[in-house]
Amino acid sequence: MRAKEEKMKSSITVNKKFVIGEIDKRIYGSFIEHLGRAVYGGIYEPGHETADDMGFRKDVLDLINKLDVPAVRYPGGNFVSGYHWEDGVGDKAKRPKKMELAWEVIETNEVGIDEFQEWAKRANTDVVMAVNLGTRGPEDARNLVEYCNSETDTYYANMRRANGFEKPFGIKTWCLGNEMDGPWQIGYKTAEDYGKIACETAKLMRLVDPDIELVACGSSSYDMPTFGEWELKVLDQAYDQVDYISLHQYYGNPTNETKDYIGKAEHMDAFIKSVAALCDAVKAKKHSKKTVNLSFDEWNVWFHSNNAEIEKWSVAPPQLEDVYNFEDALLVGSMLMTLQNNCDRVKIACLAQLVNVIAPIMTKTGGGAWVQTIFYPFMYASTQGRGETLRAIVNCDCYQSTEKDDIPYLASSVVHNPEKKEIVVFAMNRSLEEEMELSLTFDGFEGCKACEHVELYCDDLKAVNTEEQQPVVPVNVEVSDTVANEHGVVLKKHSWNMIKFTY
C-alpha cells in the first residue's frame, strides 16, 4: 500500500542488447481515400492561393512534410471496391463523372493515379496502392500494375507513356482489396471466395512485376464475428502468394468512459498478437519457411462524426470530419507506442486518414489549414521514433477497465537510434488523477544523459484545436539534473511525453 502523500511509482529498464526489432519506417504511414474532402479541398484545390502547378495545396503539403509520412495508402478504403482506375488517368476533360456507391457521392475523377503519384513525390512519400477486388478482379489489377510499373512496349505501359509519364511509377506495395470481410463492402466476400481471388490476383500481378509486395485483407476489426476464421481460411489459400495481412481498428469514446478509452491500446496490442499467432499457425501447418507479417493499414479514433448527415450525390461533401480532443491524442499517442513495441511483426501501418477525413490535418476549402490534437504525438513518433525498439521491463500499477483487469497506468516504448546515439522514451501516464514518478535504467549505454523532454498535456481532456485556437500543443519541459543524470522523471496526470537521451 502506498502512503497518501507518496507519488505513484513506475520504472522502465532496457538493455542495449535486448532488441524487439528494427522499426520499418512505414509504420508511420497514412492514408488518403477518395472520400469527403480528403482529396478535393484537402490535398487538391486548384483555385487555392497556395496551389502549385498541379493544383496541390502547398500549405497542406508543408504540414504533411512535418509529419514525415513515408507511405500513403490510396485510393481507398471502401471507395476502391467500386473504382475503375482507368477513369482517373489521361486527359482530365475526358474523365467521366461517376456515382460513387461506397460513400454515395459523385466522383469527378479529376485526381487519379497520374496525379496522386506526383503528389506523393511532393509529399516525400511512397504510394501504397489498393486494387479493386469488390466489383473487379485479377485482370484489372494486373493491368494497373502494368500501367504503373512496367517498362514493356505494351498496351497499358504505353497508355501511361501517352499520358505523359515515360518512367514507371515504381509502386512497390499493393493491397489486395479492402475490408472484404465486411458486409458493407461493395463486393463483400466469404473467406473462401476472397482467399481464392486474392491468390489468383496476386499471381497475375506478380507475373507483371515480380518485385511487388502484396497485402491480403485480414479482418476489418478485432471484433468482427468472423475474426480468426477469416485469417486462417484466407491464409490457408494465399499464404505463399502474400507478404502481409491487414488489420484495421478504430476506437471511440461515445459513452464517455475515459479510463477505458485511453487504455484501448492494450486491445490493439492483443489484436496484433492474435493476428501474428494466426499467421504463424498457418506457417506451422504448411511447414513454411516464410513469415507473413502485418500491415495495420487503417487505425485511428473515429466516432465524433458518426451522426453527421451528407447531401447524397454531391461532390466532395464534408464526411467523417472528426474534431479530435486531447484524450483522443492520448489514445493515438499510446497506439503509436503499441505499433513500435510490435515492430518485429508490424511492418506497415497507416493512420487513417491524413487530411480532413478522420485526420490530423484539417483545411477550410478556400481557406487555411491547421492541425488537430492527434497531429502532435504522430509527428514526434514519426520523426523521433526511428531505429530499433528495445525490449523494456516495465513496472507500474494497473487499473481495471470494463473490458480488462490489468491496464498499466504507464504506456511506454523505448526506441534506440544507434546512428544518432539517441534513446527516445515515449511515455504516457494513464492516471486521470495522479502524477507518476518514472525511473529509467539504461543498461549498456554508458554516459547516457537526458537532453529533451516534450510534454503534451491539457487539464481539459475534451479540449480541441481549431483554426482559431490551439489549446493542445506540446511544450518543452526543462530537463532537470535529476532527469539528466539519475533518469528520474515526473509524468503529469493524463500526459503524453517524449524524453530523449544521448550517450
What is the set of active-site residues?
179, 298
Under the criterion CB under 6 A, does residue 76 sit at the interface with ligand AHR?
A: yes
Under the criterion CB under 6 A, does residue 429 sit at the interface with ligand AHR?
A: no
Under the criterion CB under 6 A, does residue 78 sit at the interface with ligand AHR?
A: yes
Nearby residues of 281 by Cβ (< 8 Å), 6 or more positions away: 232
Under the criterion CB under 6 A, does residue 115 sit at the interface with ligand AHR?
A: no
Residue 220 C-beta: closest distance to ligand AHR, Å: 6
User: Which residue from 179, 213, 322, 327 is in contact with ligand AHR, where contact means CB under 6 A?
Assistant: 179
Site string for ligand AHR, 217-256 (x = CB under 6 A): ---x------------------------------------
Under the criterion CB under 6 A, does residue 33 sit at the interface with ligand AHR?
A: yes
Q: Residue 250: what are its φ and ψ, rounded to 5°?
A: -120, 145
Pick between residue 354 and residue 428 the one whose CB is nearest to ligand AHR. 354
Under the criterion CB under 6 A, does residue 213 sit at the interface with ligand AHR?
A: no
Q: Is the dihedral of CA 257, 474, 471, 301 positive or negative?
A: negative
Under the criterion CB under 6 A, does residue 112 sit at the interface with ligand AHR?
A: no
Query: Are the CB atoms for 315 and 108 separated by under 8 Å?
Result: yes
Residue 58 C-beta: closest distance to ligand AHR, Å: 25
Helix, strand or coil for residue 394? strand
Residue 52 C-beta: closest distance to ligand AHR, Å: 26
Three-state SS annotation for 11-55: EEEEECCCEEEECCHHHHEEECCCCCCCCECCCECCCCCCECCCC
Q: Which residues of 180-214 are buried (b: 16+ CB within 10 A; e: fewer)?
A: bbbeebbbebebebbbebbbbbbebbbebbeebbb
Residue 34 C-beta: closest distance to ligand AHR, Å: 9
276-335: contacts with ligand AHR (CB under 6 A): 298
Q: State the first-to-last Cα distance of the chain, in angstroms, to the nearest integer.
A: 36
Which region among 76-84, 139-147, 163-171, 421-429 touches ligand AHR (by CB under 6 A)? 76-84
Pick between residue 221 and residue 383 the one whose CB is nearest to ligand AHR. 221
Q: Which residues of 93-130 are buried (b: 16+ CB within 10 A; e: fewer)?
A: eebeebebebbebebbbbbbbbbbbbbbeebebbbbbb
Which region among 59-67, 75-83, 127-135, 272-280 touches ligand AHR (by CB under 6 A)? 75-83
Which region among 74-82, 206-214, 419-427, 449-457 touches ligand AHR (by CB under 6 A)? 74-82
Burial label for 135, CB within 10 Å (0-12, 13-18, 19+), is middle
Residue 128 C-beta: closest distance to ligand AHR, Å: 13
Packing angle, helices 138-149 and 155-162, rounded to 10: 50
Q: Is the peptide bond before 88 cis (omega within 30 degrees of 0)?
A: no
User: Which residue from 132, 143, 178, 295 is in contact with ligand AHR, where contact means CB under 6 A?
Assistant: 178
Under the criterion CB under 6 A, does residue 353 sit at the interface with ligand AHR?
A: yes
Amino acid at 482: T
Query: Are the CB atoms for 187 and 197 separated by under 8 Å?
Result: no
Site size toward ligand AHR (CB under 6 A) is 10
Which region among 73-81, 209-217, 233-241, 446-454 touches ligand AHR (by CB under 6 A)? 73-81
Element of type H or E holding 495: strand 495-502
Query: What is the rounded CA–CA span in Å between residue 130 and residue 116?
Result: 13
Under the criterion CB under 6 A, does residue 77 sit at the interface with ligand AHR?
A: yes
Report the interface residues with ligand AHR, using CB under 6 A.
Answer: 33, 76-78, 178-179, 220, 298, 352-353
